[in-house]
Amino acid sequence: MTTHPESAVQLAAEITASAITAGTISAPRKMLTNKDTALPLTADSSLETLASRAKKIRIRQIGSSGQTHIQAEFFIEQQTFHRNLSTKEMQNLLELCFSSHFTRGEFTGTKATLSVMISKRGTITLCSKETADTEQIIGGHDRLKQRLIPEGTPIPFLVNLGIMTAEGTVVRAKYAKYRQINRYLEFIQDILPQLEARAREKNGQPLRIVDFGCGKSYLTFALYHYLSTVKKIPVIITGLDLKQDVIEHCSLLARQYGYAGLSFSVGDIAHYTAELGGIDMVVSLHACDTATDYALAQAVQWNTPIIFAVPCCQHELNSQLDKNTTDRKQPNTKDLFEPLLRHGLMRERFAALLTDTLRAELLENAGYRVQLVEFIDMSHTPKNILIRAIRESSREESTNVKTPSQAYRALRDAFSITPTLETELFASAGADTPPRDS
């Protein structure tokens, strides 16, 4: 929304009402220097004096939100001067800046992001955009969405990743990543009762979590921070990936942050063994193609109580659909699905949905309660389906299942496909599994 406040007084009031947490005031109209004035300059100089001689002013919220203190940093020649201001003083400074000294401003607030432009004729333009972190509630009012990792408190791994500044402000360009991390932790919060119950069963022994295909591990660090630091649940998390340099970097960061229960290893999902005993949770985020199947199979074979998987790059069934389009066990399905499979883009998307549907069915056959939920908004990535599985039956009950369900087999046979997860879970039990194409 674009408006034109009539005066600097009105502009300052509108900016202050947006509860700004950070901002920059720039583009001075005329900057006084030591040659222009004989007035001595100190941090205790008046706001008028500091503003008139600054080339830029940076502001940020400090302390707890209840204190509402804003720190102003004045950049004057080769020096910087800092002043802590109350909300009223901050509003007075904004009025001073935009009435006489500056023509540009960029601000981030809890309610909106704001841009100020003042023309040579003195016309004020204020562009505001509602912060994406608000949500509608009954009655049409907005309230700030409470994040599990709130803005305003710097978290070391988020600062290192460039998602937060050293002051705890979320970098605007990284806001989608910040929301994704919090969204992930909301899913963890949903199964927190199961994790806490599992922790009680272990009588003080830490929970064991394996993160297959951890990559750069920002979600791994978030998981450890949330469980260990925020919820005080003893936990040991092992991140596994094939890239040596990535693992070395993540290991260095874990030591730097003092995350004693977080470690990283180079290894293949298909050959990893749980050397330290039972695994309480398996995570697999964006493991490519059949790597997700190996992670799910490993979790089932370990009798893991909780599984989180966000699949990626699902090529296996896409290639099988392409090969078997004209060679189906049920001829009537050929004509039915041919329009869907004719176009590469649609076949690829359908194959991904079919893959995850069959994975969910197989996990339910293995004794899990399964949910397929949207991980993050589709506008950020199409790879956004989270498979969340909670074990409901005992190991003895699930191992008695020798073949997949009839519903699974009917869907599988309709397309003459052989998913890797089925082979991993049931082939050794003599299941009715079609032979894999060589």
Q: Please give the structure tokens belonging to residue 398.
A: 């699930």
Across the range 72-91, mean pLDDT stands at 88
The Cα 318–Cα 328 span in angstroms is 15
For residues 418 and 43, which has the higher predicted lDDT (pLDDT)? 418
Q: What percent of the chain has pLDDT over 90?
A: 31
In this predicted model, which residue has the larger pLDDT, 124 or 377? Answer: 124
Most confident of 26-35, 57-66, 102-111, 415-424: 415-424
Q: Identify each DSSP E strand in 260-322 by its residue range.
A: 262-266, 281-288, 306-312
Shortest CA distance to 324 belongs to which of 354, 364, 288?
Answer: 354
* pLDDT for res 180: 87
Confidence of residue 231 (pLDDT cuts 50, 70, 90): very high
Token output for 5: 């406040």
Band (285; pLDDT cuts 50, 70, 90): confident
Could you give the 3-state DSSP secondary structure of residue 364?
helix
Residue 437: what pLDDT? Answer: 45
Confidence at 37, pLDDT banded by 50, 70, 90 = low
State the pLDDT confidence band at 414, using cuts at 50, 70 and 90.
confident
333 has a pLDDT exceeding 90: no
Alpha-carbon torsion 257, 258, 262, 267, what sign?
Answer: positive
Rounded to 10 degrees, the C-alpha dihedral 256/258/261/264 comes to: 0
What tens digit of pLDDT does each residue of 151-201 get?
Answer: 888 898 898 888 888 888 888 888 888 988 998 999 999 999 999 999 999
Least confident of 13-22, 194-203, 222-231, 414-423: 13-22
Q: Are strands 142-144 and 134-136 parallel, antiparallel or unpaired?
A: antiparallel
User: Which residue type sits at 182?
Assistant: N
pLDDT of residue 400: 57
Looking at residues 291-302, what average pLDDT do you find?
Answer: 89
Q: What is the pLDDT of residue 380?
A: 43
Can you state the percent helix, strand and coil of the chain, rounding each to 5? Answer: 40, 25, 35
Q: Report pLDDT digits (tens) over 100-133.
A: 899 999 888 766 788 899 988 889 999 887 655 4
> Does 135 score more than 50 pLDDT?
no
Rounded to 5 degrees, φ, ψ at 116 are -115, 135
Distance between CA atoms of residues 94 and 57, nearest Å: 10
What is the CATH class of 177-429? alpha beta
- pLDDT mean over 237-261: 91
Q: What is the pLDDT of residues 257-273, one digit of tens each?
A: 899 999 999 987 767 77
Q: Are 98 and 13 in contact (CB under 8 A)?
A: no
Which of the four pLDDT bands, split at 50, 70 and 90, describes residue 254? very high
| Distance of alpha carbon 313 from alpha carbon 310, whole angstroms | 10
> Is the pLDDT higher at 436 or at 396?
396
C-alpha dist (Å) from residue 120 to 11, 27, 114, 124, 125? 17, 12, 20, 10, 12
Mean pLDDT of the chain: 81
Which residue from 373, 372, 365, 383 is spatially nearest to 424, judged by alpha carbons?
365
pLDDT at 11 over 70: yes
Structure tokens at 72: 């102003």
CA-CA-CA-CA torsion for 10, 11, 12, 14, nearest 10 degrees?
Answer: 90
User: Distance of alpha carbon 112 from its chain centroid, rounded?
Assistant: 21
Helix (H, G, I), strand (E, B) or coil at 22: strand
Amino acid at 314: Q
Assess contact for 386 and 283: CB atoms under 8 A. no
β 2-3/124-130 pair status: antiparallel
- Where residue 140 falls among pLDDT bands split at 50, 70, 90? very low
Bridge partners of residue 268, in order along the sequence: none
pLDDT at 67: 52
Helix (H) or strand (E) holding 320, with range, is helix 316-324
Phi-psi region of 50 (alpha: psi -120 to 50; beta: other; left: phi over 0): alpha
In this predicted model, what pLDDT tens digit does every residue of 197-228 receive, in sequence order? 999 998 889 999 999 988 888 899 999 999 99
From the list 301, 306, 316, the residue with the least C-alpha distance to 284 is 306
**Window from 113-117, 188-192, 372-376, 418-422 with minimum mean pLDDT:** 372-376
Residues 6+ apart with CB under 8 A from 266: 240, 241, 242, 243, 244, 247
Q: Write b or e for each residue in 243-275: b if 16 or more Cβ atoms lie within 10 A of its Cβ, otherwise e.
A: eeebbeebbebbeebebebbbbeebebeebeee
Domain limits, the chain: 2-131, 143-176, 177-429
